[in-house]
Every structure is written in C-alpha cells, then in structure tokens.
Amino acid sequence: MAVQWYPGHMNKARRIIKDTMSEVDLVIEVMDARIPFSSENPMVAELRQHRPCIKILNKSDLADPATTKLWMAHLEKEQGVKAQALSVLDKSRTKNLPDLCRKLLPDRGTAVKSIRVMIMGIPNVGKSTLINTLAGKTLAKVGDEPAVTKVVSSAQHRILLSGNIALSDTPGILWPKIENENSSYRLAVTGAIKNTAIDFEDIALFAADYLIDAYAEKIVERYKLKQTPQTGTELLEEIGRRRGCLRGGGIIDMNRASEILIHEIRSGALGALSFETPAMIAEETVVDEEEDEPEQG
C-alpha cells in the first residue's frame, strides 16, 4: 500500500529532537497497544541511544490483553527498557508513571537535579491525552486525526510535573520508509495514517482477512452471521447487506461497508483486538530479509 507517509516538515522535527536530546535523561515512547511493532518508531532508538526508555502500550483497552502481555515481555528484553500498558479508562496507571521514572533514575528527581523526560510517538497513538493526564490539565491539543501536535517544545518549554520531573513534548514524528508492508496496513487500520491517504476498501480487505483468521467468533457475533466467511470480500459483502450499504439493483457498496468495518475496529465495537504478535513479526521479518537478499549468480 503506497501512502504519503513522511512529509517534509518531519526532517525539521527530527533535527530539533536530535539537538534537544543531549538535555534529556529518559525517553517515553508511546505506541498503539494493538500494533506495538508497527507503531514503534525505529528512529527513537537511534535518537535516544543509551538513555533508559519507558515504552507505553497505549489504548490497551482496545487491544487483546493476552497479546499485550506477550508484547510487554518482548519489549523488556531490550536493555534499559520498561514497558507499561495504559488505557484512558484507567488513569491511575498513568499517574504512576512519575514513580517509574524515578525508579529508572534514582539519582535524579530532586530540586537540584530534575528528571528531564522527552515523550515521543507517531501520530494518533494518544500521546497528547497522556500528557494532559500527567499534567492534570489540558496542555496538549487532542484530536482523532494524525499529526495534531505541530511544534516541538524546546528545553525552555518543558511541562513541570510533580516529583521534579520536566517533560518535553514532540510532534508525532514519523520515519522515512515503512519496511514491512503489512505494517503499512496495520497503521492505516488503526488510524495512524490519515484517511485522505488511504483506500478504505484496500485496508478493510486486509483487516477482514486477518479477523477471519484471528477473531472469527467476534465477527460472527458482531454481524450476526450464520457462519464464518471464507474471505475478506465475503465478510465485507455480508456487512454491506446487513447494514444497508446497497446501490441501485441491490449492488453492495463495498466502500461504505469498508468504512463501517474500519470505524468499528477503531472504536472498539468489535471488542479488544490485536493485529500483530511478537511471533508473527518474527516470521514477517524473516520473509522480508529473504526477499531483500540478492540473487546468487
């Protein structure tokens, strides 16, 4: 799936973040709990280098809890990384984040040496909501379209939290190329890519095929089906029939049916869903590496 993913202003954002990183002690990276790998920016590790990192699996109320546990264990295998699952439905966990920051940097968090934290994440993973919860008031604009945050806060514009923690916000920074094609689809399904840049039917077919394999019982229950469809096209046709997405002559409007499926995935109407597991990503990575290998003469 081809999308306009890396707009020009991202280069400027990356340069500012790199320059500011020397004044940062700890990085908080916010990811979508439904797609931790696909929403994890590979540039973050490059920019933060040796600094400890808290990886937030946000929107965990929308993700399969069993799969989220697998991802937390997988992410914490990396040196200096702690993983935390958060949900807007349970703000108490968010408010415990400052304590976790102090545990990772016990020699800081004093009036003399504050913990300087930079929060990062791709668009539409809930970064602004997290900042507002931590601050206890509305400081960052929240929206359900990607790229709401437009400016990079400099070291002089930090948000002061309790416990001598200074938090710097960044825009939803992207990276130049998505190597895993399936990640492009997952990002589009969950809303990290603007609707104007995607083909709803294309991504809905991807999602429908996945749901048939991974969550057949949920789609049967949600759409009151007598049996599990065999293909994504069949599922979209069933949705179209049941939701009145019909054109003249009884022809199913596949685009409308696709929009319904994507909206219900994003809103949680289909229940808690995860679109990738550590094992799945390991398999896809092997395939990608094999395809990239030059042919032997």
The CATH number given to whatever domain includes residue 247 is: 1.10.1580.10
User: Residue 40 corresponds to which tokens in the numbers above?
Assistant: 């994890």
Q: Is the pLDDT of residue 114 over 70?
A: yes
Q: Are residues 164 and 101 in the same domain?
A: yes
In sequence order, what are the beta bridge partners of 168?
Answer: 118
Establish if 133 belongs to a structural domain. yes
Q: Is 82 left (phi over 0), alpha (psi -120 to 50) or beta?
A: beta
Other beta carbons within 10 angstroms of residue 133's beta carbon come to 17
For the chain, the domain total comes to: 2
List the domain range (segments joined by +) for residue 85.
9-168
pTM: 0.85
CA distances from 30 to 64, 199, 207 (A): 17, 26, 23
Residues 161, 203, single domain; the answer is no
Q: What is the pLDDT of residues 46-71, one digit of tens each?
A: 888 889 999 999 999 999 999 999 99
What tens digit of pLDDT does each residue of 74-109 get? Answer: 999 998 999 999 987 787 888 889 899 999 999 998
Assess if residue 26 is contained within a domain: yes
The answer to whether residue 95 sits within a structural domain is yes
Q: Same structural domain for residues 14 and 81?
A: yes
User: 267 and 145 in one domain?
Assistant: no
Retrieve residue 247's tokens.
Answer: 């054109």
Query: Is residue 186 situated within a structural domain?
Result: no
Other C-beta atoms lying within 10 Å of the C-beta of residue 159: 19
Quick one: 146 and 214 in the same domain? no
What average pLDDT is seen over the chain?
85
Q: Is residue 190 part of a domain?
A: no
Burial 196-213 (b: 16+ CB within 10 A, else e): eebebbebbbbbbbbbbe
pLDDT at 2 over 70: no
Of the three residues 148, 168, 188, the one that is the final residue of a domain is 168
